[in-house]
């Protein structure tokens, strides 16, 4: 009977996970052009050092999703996490620091009160660190349901998931697609394929990873793969923008359309 119960629960869980793609949407048209946003979730110190160095060499800005409770800690899968100096260096050099909750909570497994309390704790953490207010949010584990999506759309300008895809034509500010470059899941393969598509077509590709080191964890990538990815972004002729800056452009396009 336990096996039957699992069988019956799985379709329900799959439907619950897919519903945010179709409900509570806030759709806006994308501006013409080729755009890439590069994101780091959690984020490990290896990314703050190795990846930031490669981005700064190109004068490209990324979005770094910070979990306040992880500052200065050691993560079993990522190694040392970012510290206060890393946060200040990112802001000083024009990168975006986004919100990833304070405790890395699963937003499908807790109620809205707990989500809001945790997010507000991360907002307070940003203020205590002297950071600008977060202008974008990434769901930990990519875990979101319709209720948490609706809740956070009222508190953050733009929300991001982990479902891969190239945005074309229209975009839902409540659940951006994002393609992972993660060692356990084919590394950079899918992102490179999408960059090939971006060479030929207008669109916006959001890419994310975690640690960037010689022996990455399953959710990270090697420095060599990261550099190869950046080279492919360059070859695609894409403009690299932070998530928040891209949404400023989208809002500007929408405002201009409404004036006409």
- Provide the greatest CA pair distance for the chain: 62
Q: Does residue 143 sit within a domain?
A: yes
Q: Does residue 252 sit within a domain?
A: yes
Q: What is the rounded average pLDDT of the residues 120-148?
A: 97
CA–CA dist 160, 64 (Å, integer): 12
Q: Does residue 14 sit within a domain?
A: no
CA atoms within 13 A on the CB side of 247: 21
pTM: 0.91
Q: Does residue 156 sit within a domain?
A: yes
Name the pairing type of β-strands 74-75 and 166-167: unpaired
Q: Does residue 26 sit within a domain?
A: no
Summarised one tens digit per residue, pLDDT across range 189-242 is 999 999 999 999 999 999 999 999 999 999 999 999 999 999 999 999 999 999
Domain harbouring 145, CATH code: 3.20.20.370
pLDDT value of position 131: 97
How many structural domains comprise the chain?
1
CB contact set of 231 (below 8 Å; sequence gap of 6+): none
**184 pLDDT tier (thresholds 50, 70, 90):** confident
Q: Does residue 190 sit within a domain?
A: yes
Q: Does residue 151 sit within a domain?
A: yes
Residues spanned by the domain of 240: 36-259
More confident of the two residues 18 and 143: 143
Summarised one tens digit per residue, pLDDT across range 4-49 is 444 345 665 666 666 666 566 889 999 999 999 999 999 999 999 9
Q: Does residue 24 sit within a domain?
A: no
Q: Is residue 155's pLDDT more than 60?
A: yes
């Amino acid at each position: 009977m336990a096996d039957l119960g699992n069988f019956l629960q799985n379709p329900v869980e799959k439907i619950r996970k897919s519903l945010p793609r179709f409900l509570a949407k806030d759709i806006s048209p994308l501006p013409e052009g080729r755009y890439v946003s590069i994101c780091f979730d959690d984020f490990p110190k290896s990314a703050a050092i190795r990846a930031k160095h490669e981005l700064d060499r190109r004068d490209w800005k990324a979005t770094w999703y910070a979990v306040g409770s992880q500052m200065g800690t050691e993560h079993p899968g990522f190694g040392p996490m970012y510290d206060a100096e890393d946060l200040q260096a990112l802001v000083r050099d024009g990168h975006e620091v986004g919100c990833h909750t304070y405790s890395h909570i699963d937003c499908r497994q807790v109620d809205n009160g707990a989500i809001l309390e945790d997010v507000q704790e991360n907002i307070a953490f940003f203020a205590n660190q002297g950071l600008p207010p977060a202008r974008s949010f990434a769901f930990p584990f990519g875990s979101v349901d319709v209720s948490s999506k609706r809740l956070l759309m009222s508190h953050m300008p733009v929300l991001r998931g982990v479902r891969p895809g190239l945005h074309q034509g229209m975009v839902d500010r409540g659940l951006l697609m994002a393609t992972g470059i993660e060692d356990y899941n084919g590394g950079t393969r899918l992102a490179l394929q999408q960059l090939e598509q971006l060479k030929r077509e207008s669109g916006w590709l959001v890419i994310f990873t975690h640690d960037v080191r010689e022996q990455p964890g399953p959710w990270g990538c090697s420095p060599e793969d990261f550099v190869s990815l950046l080279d492919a972004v360059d070859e695609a002729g894409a403009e690299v923008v932070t998530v928040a800056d891209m949404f400023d452009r989208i809002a500007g396009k929408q405002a201009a359309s409404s004036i006409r």
